[in-house]
Amino acid sequence: MRLTRDRLTAILMILPSLVLLGVFVYGFIGRTAYVSLTDWGQNPAQALALNPVISFIGLENYQSLFTSALDSRFRQDLVNTFFFTLFFLLGCLAIGLTLAILLDRRVKGEGFFRTVFLFPMALAFIVTGTIWRWMLQPQGGVNVLPTLIGLPRLQFRWLTSREQVWQFNWQNLPVILGVGVGVILLWLTVLSFRRGRRGRGTVMAVLTAVAAIWTATGARSVEILSYPEPHGFNLALVGIIIAAVWQMSGYTMALYLAGLRGISDDLREAARVDGASELQLFRHVIFPLLGPISLSAVIILGHISLKIFDLIFAMAGPDNIRTSVPALSMYLRAFRANQFAEGAAIAVVLLLMVGAVIIPYLWTQLRGEVRR
């Protein structure tokens, strides 16, 4: 009797939080999705009304984001997010792992080094951005560092460079996506067969074939734009990537260091007794054990990277098209231009990208626990 009353109290205690999260997370996401299907903002008189009159227009906002001439900024935003995420992840993983391996070698003053590598994590992105904006002034900062040892000044226009590398035509996007998906599927096919999982391998092989056929036929005939539109990796992003790596690589260092400390001395010793060199020890024992940590780091940093907003706001300003990302465009569209429906559509695209990373991760992380 007592037990059931306590259990009821327990449920009553967590209920307010569940209701709040239900409304503020899921209710609001639903509302945003609905707003993205309306014309809210097209009529300026209704934009800021407390109860605006809005009407349902279907997927028009999305169609416009991906195919209308007016929205080429959004498409460059997506390309920027892709390259930013790629180099931010590579930078954080490489620097974080290197620092962790160095610190794991029983270094004197380890506490000092750890403190130095991790302190940027305690800063606001706004603070980091303000600092690095000063570091990357074209006429000063990093560019004049070489003059201190008698070398000529650097000329790179951090944050304002107009140069793009690895340009591609937006019209070719379906083909590029098709090839990308095909290569990943092919890799999974080979991997499955190598591990002796024939069933899965066959499925993957069929999917690879479908991707290849679609790329060769359907993808070519999709016309998303009626004119060529080049997009590429804006070099103005390089400075922002450096600042972001400066701030976040300490996090991967902390993750990897915790992982390395978790590998028992016995295991390393056993490998050495078996005649493994230091390099072989890393390749065959330590790196495989760090795999799950790398995955965690990729997911956590990846979702931060997709959402990055304040760092770019503070470093390059919100109106710098060359360094813009969807998270920033959403804010400008909705809260500067009062185009709420278009802002909501960008927000939904952003949520889908983050969800694609986070949902499988939560699924696998929690599956084991639930069985417990």
Partner 1 sequence: MTGSTRAGPGTYLLLALASAFFLLPVYLVLITALKPPAEIQLSTTWHLPDTWNWGSFVTAWRAFSPQLLNSLILTVSATAGSAVLGSLNGYVLSKWRFPGANVVFPLILFGMFIPYQSILIPLFQFLASIGLYGSLGGLILTHIVYGLPITTLIFRNFYAEIPDEMIEAAKIDGAGFFGIYRRVIFPLSISGFVVVIIWQFTQIWNEFLFAVTLTTQDTHPITVAIANLAGGEAVNWNLPMAGAILAALPTLIVYIVLGKYFVRGLLAGSVKG
Q: Return the number of the residue (223 or 265) whose C-beta is nearest partner 1.
A: 265
Instruction: Looking at residues 238 to 267 of the shown chain, list those that interact with partner 1 (rule: CB under 8 A).
Output: 246, 250-251, 254-255, 258, 260, 265
Q: Return the number of the residue (126 or 210) whose C-beta is nearest partner 1.
A: 126
Candidates 278, 280, 288, 360: give the one binding partner 1 (CB under 8 A): 278
Number of CB atoms found within 10 A of residue 128's CB: 21
Number of CB atoms found within 10 A of residue 347's CB: 23
Q: Return the number of the residue (79 or 334) whose C-beta is nearest partner 1.
A: 334
Our finding on whether 119 is near partner 1 (CB under 8 A) is yes
Our finding on whether 14 is near partner 1 (CB under 8 A) is yes
Closest distance of CB 308 from partner 1, Å: 10
Closest distance of CB 5 from partner 1, Å: 8
Closest distance of CB 182 from partner 1, Å: 29
Our finding on whether 92 is near partner 1 (CB under 8 A) is no
Candidates 47, 86, 118, 190: give the one binding partner 1 (CB under 8 A): 118
Contact 63, 222 (CB under 8 A): no
Instruction: Looking at residues 122 to 161 of the shown chain, list those that interact with partner 1 (rule: CB under 8 A).
Output: 122-127, 129-135, 137, 139-141, 144-145, 148
Instruction: Looking at residues 287 to 326 of the shown chain, list those that interact with partner 1 (rule: CB under 8 A).
Output: 296-297, 299-300, 303, 306-307, 309-310, 313-314, 317
CA gap 70, 49 in Å, rounded = 26
Q: Return the number of the residue (62 or 168) whose C-beta is nearest partner 1.
A: 62
Instruction: Looking at residues 156 to 185 of the shown chain, list those that interact with partner 1 (rule: CB under 8 A).
Output: none
Q: Applying CB under 8 A, which part among 8-16, 170-178, 180-188, 224-232 lies near partner 1?
A: 8-16
Instruction: Looking at residues 69 to 88 of the shown chain, list those that interact with partner 1 (rule: CB under 8 A).
Output: none
Instruction: Looking at residues 347 to 366 of the shown chain, list those that interact with partner 1 (rule: CB under 8 A).
Output: 347-348, 350-351, 354-355, 358-359, 361-363, 365-366
Closest distance of CB 51 from partner 1, Å: 9
x/- site string to partner 1, residues 323 to 342, per CB under 8 A? Answer: ----x--xx--xx----x--
Closest distance of CB 223 from partner 1, Å: 30
Beta bridge partners of 230: 169
Picking from 217, 293, 292, the residue whose alpha carbon sits closest to that of residue 254 is 293
Instruction: Looking at residues 17 to 76 of the shown chain, list those that interact with partner 1 (rule: CB under 8 A).
Output: 17-18, 20-21, 24-29, 31-32, 35, 50
* Interior angle at CA 88, CA 125 and CA 320, nearest 5: 60
